[in-house]
A and B are shown apart, each in its own frame.
Chain A
Amino acid sequence: AERSAIVSVWGQLHADEVGAHAIARLLIVYPWTQRYFSAFGNISSPAAIMGNPKVAAHGKVVMGALEKGVKNLNNLKGTYAALSTMHSEKLHVDPDNFRLLAHCISTTIAMKLGHSAFTPEVQEAIEKFLSAVASA
């Protein structure tokens, strides 16, 4: 049931928009994450972040990667093996940040789907999925 909730929610979202919005929130709500994105140009204010095309592009990249996970729910570890190495050895991202981004994605999906569609059960399925991705 959780798997079908995840697939169904994914179908209802405009992935690129959600991605862009979630990354923007990450950079605004948890400003210390900006340290990973010094190459993005102007991220000095919420307005700059929300309008920054590199932020939006990166949101798209992240959502693309999550979509792979949605399509391969049975093998998240395998799906994310390469990305895992990249995040740890090349990008040196502290894994706690995966949790922060997951919060932002969850909040953004809640905003896009609205209150009646984003039920507690849907929230649970999405957060469980994001947590499994973070582990992988």
Chain B
Amino acid sequence: MSLTSKDKETVKAFWAKIAPRAEDIGEDALSRMLVVYPQTKTYFSHWKDLSPGSAPVKKHGKVVMGGVAEAVKKIDDLTNGLLSLSELHAFQLRVDPANFKILSHCLLVVLASKFNEEFTPEVHVCMDKFLSAVALALSEKYR
């Protein structure tokens, strides 16, 4: 299920539309993940406040979206482009890769709710494929 050149064009075009609100999107997606899938809180026990919209969640949402932006730039070679992020997630953070699916779902829900005209089924399938490809690239260094 690799990304076709049409998929990549769709992702880049959609990203251009949503990038100005990337921080908001990141914050919302992360907030939702922590509420809807509370098992993910285990990775953030060092934060003072895990409630939706709190300062650590906002800040981290920005970081995560920075990573997604990076992935869009490196869309032609995600595996190599995201190597250092993969190492970070594998060796330091040790996030179970199953969680990448969870965060992807939350991101898609946020995109659907904020951009309901632009988030057509065609855009939805391309973004889902893209986020799955990113998750795969992030899992590269795990074993």
Contact = CB atoms under 8 A, between A and B. Distances in A.
B52 interface: yes
Interface stretch (B6-14, B40-48, B59-67, B109-117): B109-117
Interface residues of A, number: 24
A54 B116 CA distance: 24
A29 B31 contact: no
A25 B124 CA distance: 8
B113 A111 contact: yes
Question: How big is chain B's contact interface, by range?
Answer: 20 to 34
A11 interface: no
A124 B128 contact: no
Contacts of B20: none
B35 A115 contact: no
A106 B107 CA distance: 12
Contacts of A46: 120-122
B113 A114 contact: yes
A110 interface: yes
Nearest to A115: B113
A107 B112 contact: yes
Interface of B is mostly: helix
B22 interface: no
A contacts with B: majority SS: helix
A103 B32 CA distance: 14
B105 interface: yes
Interface string B100-143: 00000100111011101001111011001000000000000000
A111 B121 CA distance: 12
A115 B124 contact: no
A98 interface: no
Given A107-B112, A110-B113, A121 B128 contact: no
